[in-house]
Amino acid sequence: MAGHRNSERTEATFSDEKVLVGTGGEVHQVAGGDVPPLTTQQGTPVSDDQNSLRAGTRGPTLMEDQHFREKIFHFDHERIPERVVHARGFGAHGFFETYESLSDITSADIFQRAGEKTEAFVRFSTVAGNKGSADLARDVRGFAVKLYTKEGNWDIVGNNIPVFFIQDAIKFPDLIHAAKQEPDRGFPQAQTAHDNFWDFMSLMPEAMNMVMWIMSDRTIPRSFRFMEGFGVHTFRMVNAEGKSTFVKFHWKPKQGLQSVVWNEALKLNGADPDFHRRDLWDAIQMGDYPEWELGLQLFDEEFADNFDFDVLDATKIIPEEIVPIRVVGRLVLDRCVDNFFAETEQVAFMTGNIVPGIDFTNDPLLQGRNFSYLDTQLKRLGGPNFTHLPINAPRCPFHHFQQDGHMAMTNPKGRANYEPNSWGGEAGGPRETAKGLSAHPEAIDGEKGRVRSERFSDHYSQARQFYISQTEIEQTHIAAALTFELSKVETPAIRARVVSHLLNIDEELAHKVAKGLRLKDMPKPADAARPAKTDLEASPKLSIILNGPESFAGRKVGCLVTDGTDIATVKALKSALEAEGALIEFVAPMVGGVEASDGTWIEAKQKINGGPSVLYDAVAILPGADGVDTLANEATAKDFVNDAFAHAKFIAYSEPAMTLFEKAGVTADMDDGFVALKTEADAKSFVEACRALRFWEREPKVHAAWA
């Protein structure tokens, strides 16, 4: 297959700026007077900073690429000891249970026996923020799974989004530098709403699919428990006969998908910056164990050759409607860590950790990650013996000749510390085995060069497909997110460049954003290496709202109470929620609690000024007739109601609540999202309504998405 060389460039114009554009559509450099040549740290001029050196347009990355090696090496060592990316994380232990034997597809031991359980450790994280940042930043979430199999540790190091910003790992340092705090000022923290990030995005057309995903509600999940995980890359599964099948990995939450709205995320970060951590901790401690199912998209070489996009391109997906998901097992998290530092902070994930029966592809982003992760662990954990740490050590027997080094806790026993050797038995140490890890014998033939497959050059089609796959509500959220982020960009030309890309994705979206930014002149569409395909059908599986839960299980209702609250109403609501598998948490004027109508004492979890409605999936306003006056004069009580209303939450209420509603100014706008609790049946009706998670019909009226 022919490839394009990005050194062949043409000149184009964005507004009054001149730029150099590669044949793949990527912008390489803004021209503006004399600029020095890019060089290595040794001073060697760099001819191509966009592509790793590889064997052929779709071949593997070559180890001799010293520019890539130097760039990644320096990037991996930029932070001590915090992770450069995914610094803010939270982990838990659990197990993976195999549903059926997959021996026809893979020889991996973990998939040979139905019902077998394998120990697992999972770390969730945000990407851009530092360790001390808040949980609800608009950001990609890491979803890394370590499986301690009988044939060694297998790491599926993924995200909650199935695509990525870039196609080649050589651009990863640039991406993260652009997303992190601007280096001259050290802010903004855990935010992409700044000039550097959108400057980079607007100059990288290949990122446009990911831009749609990160501006969607996928980047403000309600909980780790209610988000998907993806392996991102295409891998191989290889069976005992050597037959290879391509595979993409999916983790599907059994309790459905759920996100928050943007205004809610902002307030959650203030109310509880540990919201996601606390949610996972509480769920496990209460025995409500989070659970996902592992799904595989399996396809062969013929499909890969005929698919509209290159399966080695990490900025693309294969829609589930085209290649359905095969569910093969479940992941359950049932134990919190004993020590956060020893386990969550010191766990070392590496894409290179695979087991026999699993193999890589020549995805250039995956190839670069395989190279980079080992280097990262060396810097973060102080030396080559990080596998001696309990959280990283295999659970199966292991034998090798590696010795000494910083913090060595075990060394090989016996005379031999090399191989081959002529010593027999235990003295000679371990030997190679035919059952060991081996690479699939893929034929590689291509010219050495910094090249990229021509099939990588369609940057807009799947971005458009993602957008049209969203509900109208979700499309509104995307437009609002883009408008908000770009409103924080101080350079008008950058805003215009982003809109020029949006014109290639969806004209209506582009005009909404342009209107929201009040652009004086609409830019022309950005030059496209390949025009967007308009015949790609919507994929309903890409929508969060269309893939929500079937029940309200695992969610939480915040119940606002005062002295005199009707105990029968409280009992009916609590009973209905418990039957659903949901929780109720009481919020009161004082944290000590309240005395209900029959003299029963109700313990409060939150004081009203510390327990805002953003902490809950739905709310119930159940004050007593005498106590409601206290709430009506309390600003945070009115905020409790107003925020729940603005965030389209279902609101249950008793008659005395009307006094608070009047003070909060919502009585004139009460809709079907309000449920009056007069009987036990009303409580059940409220819980049934909550299964929809939000009363979305209200949102156009309150414009919460644009807040």
Write out the catalytic residue numbers: 86, 159
Q: How far apart are CA 655 and CA 638, in angstroms?
A: 16
Cα 10 versus chain centre, distance: 36
661-669, long-range: CB < 8 A, 24+ apart = 661/621, 662/632, 663/632, 663/633, 663/638, 664/638, 666/641, 666/642, 669/645, 669/698, 669/701
Backbone dihedral angles phi then psi of residue 237, each to the nearest 5 degrees: -110, 135
- Mode of pairing for the β-strands spanning 358-359 and 291-299: unpaired
Give dist(CA 450, CA 639) in Å, integer: 57
Given a contact cutoff of 8 angstroms between Cβ atoms, the answer to whether 88 and 55 are in contact is no
In the structure encoding, which two tokens stand for residue 297, read together? 């998209």
User: How many C-beta atoms surround the C-beta of residue 471 within 10 A?
Assistant: 14
Go through 597-632 and write b for each residue having 16 or more CB atoms within 10 A of its CB, e for each that does not: eeeeebebbbebeebbbbbbbbbbbbbbeebbbbbb
Q: At what angle do helices 635-646 and 657-664 cross, to 10 degrees?
A: 80
Q: Are 285 and 253 in contact (CB under 8 A)?
A: no
Report the alpha-carbon distance of residue 507 to residue 202 in Å, rounded: 17
Helix (H) or strand (E) holding 291: strand 291-299
Q: How many alpha carbons fall within 13 Å on the CB side of residue 230?
A: 23
Half-sphere exposure of 27 (CA within 13 A, CB side): 24
According to DSSP H, which parts of 524-653 are helical?
567-580, 628-632, 635-646
**Contact assessment for residue 384 and residue 402, using Cβ atoms and an 8 Å cutoff:** yes
Give the tokens for residue 567. 């105990």
Distance CA 301, CA 307 (A): 10
Strand duo 235-238 + 152-159: pairing: unpaired
Structure tokens at 100: 């059926």
